Structure 1
Amino acid sequence: MGNSRGIIRKGFILLLYFITVFTLFLSVPNGSAEKKGDIKALVIYTTRDGEINEYLKFLDMLISHFTNEVTFISSEKVEKKDLLNVTHLFYYGQVNVQLPSKFNTLFDDYDGTFVAIGYNLEKLGNKFSFITPLHEREINEVYLTSNKDDVLDVISQRIIEIDVAEDTEILLEGKRTRDAATYPVLVKKENQYYYAVNTISSKKSILFGEVLHDIFNVHHDTKHPAYIRLEDVHPLVDPNNLKQIGEILKEKNIPYMVAVIPVYTNPETGEKHHFSNSPKLLKVLKEMQRNGGSIVLHGYTHQFRDSETGEGFEFWDVEHNTPIYALPNEPFTLLKESDFDTKAEYESYIDNLKQFERDYIETKLTRGIQELVTYGLYPLAFEAPHYTMSQNGYTVVSEYFSTYVGHIQISDRDWKVMDTTPYITSPSFLNGMQLLPETLGYVKPDDSEAVQNMMKEAKRFQLTKDGMLAAFYHPYLGVEGFKELIEEMERLPNISWIDLKQMDLWVKADNVEIYTENGEIKADIDHICFLQVKNT
Structure 2
Amino acid sequence: MGNSRGAINKSSVLFVIATVLIFWLNVPTGSADIKDEAKVLVIYTSRDGEIDEYQRSLDMLISHFTNDVTFISSEEVEKNDLRNVTHLFYYGQVNARLPSTFVTLFDDYSGTFVAIGYNSDQLGDKFAFVTPLHEREVNKLNLTSNKEDVFDVISQNIIHIEVTEDTEIVIEGKKIGDIISYPILVKNENHYFYAVDSISSQKSILFGEILHDIFNANHDAKHPAYIRLEDIHPLVDPENVRQIAEILKEKNIPYMVAVIPVYTNPITREKHHFSNSPELLKVLKEMQKDGGSIVLHGYTHQFRESETGEGFEFWDVENNTPVYAPPDETITLQNENDFNTKAEYESYIRNLQEYEREYIESKITRGIQELVNYGLYPLAFEAPHYTMSQNGYTVISEYFSTYVGQIQLSDNDWEIMDSTPYITSPSFLNGMQLLPETLGYVRPDDPDAIQNMMKKAEGFQHTKDGMLAAFYHPYLGVERFVKLISEMEKLPNITWIDLKQTDLWVKADHVEIYTENGEIKADINRGGLLLSSLDFPLFHFKKFVGLVIWGMAIVGGIAVIAFILFTIFLQSRKTKMEG
Contact 1:461 1:469 in 2 (8 A): yes
Q: Kindly tell me: are residues 361 and 35 of structure 1, through their superposed partners in 2, closer, same or farther at Cα, counting changes over 3 Å?
A: farther
Query: What is aligned with 2:274?
Result: 275
CA displacement at 1:149 relative to structure 2: 2.3
CA apart distance, 1:37: 4.8
1:292/1:362 Cα in 2 relative to 1: closer, same or farther (>3 Å)? Answer: same
Secondary structure (helix, strand or coil) at the match of 1:231 reads strand
Q: Whole-Å Cα distance in 1 between the matches of residues 416 and 534 of structure 2?
A: 36
Aligned residue for 1:150, secondary structure, equals coil
How many angstroms apart in 2 are the aligned matches of 1:292 and 1:361? 29
Deviation at 1:155, TM superposition (A): 2.8
Which structure has the larger Rg?
2
Is it true that 1:213 corresponds to 2:250 in the alignment? no
Cα distance in 1 for partners of 2:419, 2:144 equals: 25
User: Which residue in 1 is equivalent to 2:42?
Assistant: 43
Q: Structure 1 residues 336 and 462, CA, compared in 2 at 3 Å: closer, same or farther?
A: same
State the match for 1:384 in structure 2.
383
Q: CA RMSD in A?
A: 1.3
**Structure 1 residues 68-88: Cα deviation after superposition (integer angstroms, max 9, x where no partner):** 000000001000000000000
Q: In structure 2, how many angstroms separate the alpha carbons of the residues matched to 1:36 and 1:238?
A: 53
SS of match in other structure, 1:528: helix
State the alpha-carbon separation in 1 of the partners of residues 95 and 410 from structure 2: 22
- 2:552 aligned partner: none
Distance 1:106 1:231 in 2: 50
1:79-130, Cα deviation, whole Å (9 max, x unpaired) = 0000000000000011111111110000000000000001111110000111
Instruction: Pick closer, same or farther for the CA change 1:304–1:37 going to 2, 3 Å.
Output: farther
Query: What is the match of residue 459 of structure 2?
Result: 460
Q: How does 1:295-314 map to 2 (within 5 A)?
A: 295-314=294-313
Partner of 2:137: 138
C-alpha separation in 1, matches of 2:35 and 2:225: 22
The aligned residue for residue 196 of structure 1 is: 195
Q: Deviations over 1:445-467 (max 9, x none)?
A: 02110100000000010001000
Report the residue type matching 2:267 in the other structure. Answer: E
Task: Render the CA deviation track for 1:475-510: whole Å, top value 9, x for unaligned.
Answer: 000000100000000000000000000000100000
For residues 316-340 of structure 1, give each alpha carbon's deviation from its aligned partner in whole angstroms, at most 9, with x where no partner exists: 0001000000000011111111111
Q: Which residue of 1 aligns with 2:234?
A: 235
Distance (Å, rounded) in 1 between the aligned partners of 2:36 and 2:412: 34
Is this contact kept in 1: 2:34–2:84, CA < 8 A? no
Q: C-alpha separation between the residues in 2 aligned to 1:149 and 1:257?
A: 37
Deviation at 1:529, TM superposition (A): 1.5
Which residue type is aligned with residue 126 of structure 1?
D
Instruction: Give the superposition deviation at 1:533.
Output: 3.7
Corresponding position: 1:172 with 2:161: no
C-alpha distance in 1 between matches for 2:375 and 2:482 = 28
Distance 2:482 2:40 in 1: 44
- Give the number of the structure whose residues are more often helix, by fraction: 2
Amino acid at match of 1:148: K
Show the counterpart of 2:361: 362
Quick check: 1:249–1:255 contact (8 Å CA) kept in 2?
Answer: yes
Question: Aligned equivalents of 2:440 and 2:381: distance in 1?
Answer: 18
- Determine the C-alpha separation between the residues in 2 that align with 1:291 and 1:330: 44
Which residue is 2:471 aligned to? 472
How do residues 482-501 of structure 1 correspond to structure 2 at under 5 angstroms?
482-501=481-500
Q: Name 2:258's counterpart in structure 1.
A: 259
Aligned residue pair count: 504
Separation (CA, whole Å) in 2 of partners of 1:478 and 1:495 = 25
Residue 179 of structure 1: CA displacement? 2.2
Maintained 8 Å contact 1:316/1:389? yes
Report the counterpart of residue 520 of structure 1 in structure 2: 519
1:87 lines up with 2:75 in the alignment = no
TM-score (norm 2): 0.86
Q: Which amino acid aligns with 1:404?
A: Y
Structure 1 ranges of 4+ moved more than 4 A: 33-37
Distance 2:535 2:88 in 1: 53
Q: Match of 1:109, SS?
A: coil
1:269-291 superposed Cα distances (whole Å, 9 cap, x missing partner) = 01000000000000000000000
TM-aligned CA deviation for residue 150 of structure 1: 2.2
What displacement does 1:35 show? 12
Q: Which stretches in structure 2 are left out of the alignment for 5+ residues?
A: 1-31, 537-579
